[in-house]
Amino acid sequence: MAWFVKTETFTAVAAALSVEQRRPTLEAHRRWVLDEAAAGVRRLRSGYLVDGDRRPGGGGLLIFEASSYADALAWVQNDPMIIAGLVDWQVHEWIIVTNDDKQLNNFP
């Protein structure tokens, strides 16, 4: 399994919505991540970015394992935020260059 990183930021349309209008899709996204983590098929970590005052708005980050780039793309396209068209996103394979195997075994 290789490691991948999905980055995302709200689209202009999503940013124009109130929090209450975005909430159902945000909750569906959280449920999807939790369900996927509980399924145990891949290791993953998900979170959002904050500024120096810890205010959200910088986007989100999902680090996960997949068998291939095609598998990674197919999997993230099930994310409710992507399905709803609320985020601009990218997926990149993450090539780990550290030699600290002990740390890698504990991540995530």
The structural domains of the chain, ordered by start, are 2-105 (3.30.70.1060)
The answer, yes or no, to whether residue 105 has pLDDT greater than 80, is no
**pLDDT average, residue stretch 24-40:** 95
N-to-C CA span, the chain: 14
The beta-carbon contacts of 34-43 under 8 Å, at least 24 apart in sequence, are 42/1, 42/66, 42/75, 43/108
pLDDT at position 27 is 96
The pTM (predicted TM-score) of the whole model is 0.84
Q: What gap in Å lies between CA 88 and CA 29, rounded to an integer?
A: 15
| Model confidence pLDDT, tens digit, residues 36-89 | 999 999 999 999 998 899 988 889 999 999 999 999 999 999 999 999 999 999
pLDDT at position 90 is 98
Picking from 30, 33, 100, 28, the residue whose alpha carbon sits closest to that of residue 63 is 33
Two tokens at 92?
A: 């990149």
* Buried-state track 19-36, b at ≥16 Cβ within 10 A, e below 16: eeebeebbeebeebbeeb
Rg (CA), the chain: 15
Q: What is the mean pLDDT of the chain?
A: 90
pLDDT at position 5 is 98
* pLDDT classification of 103: cutoffs 50, 70, 90: low
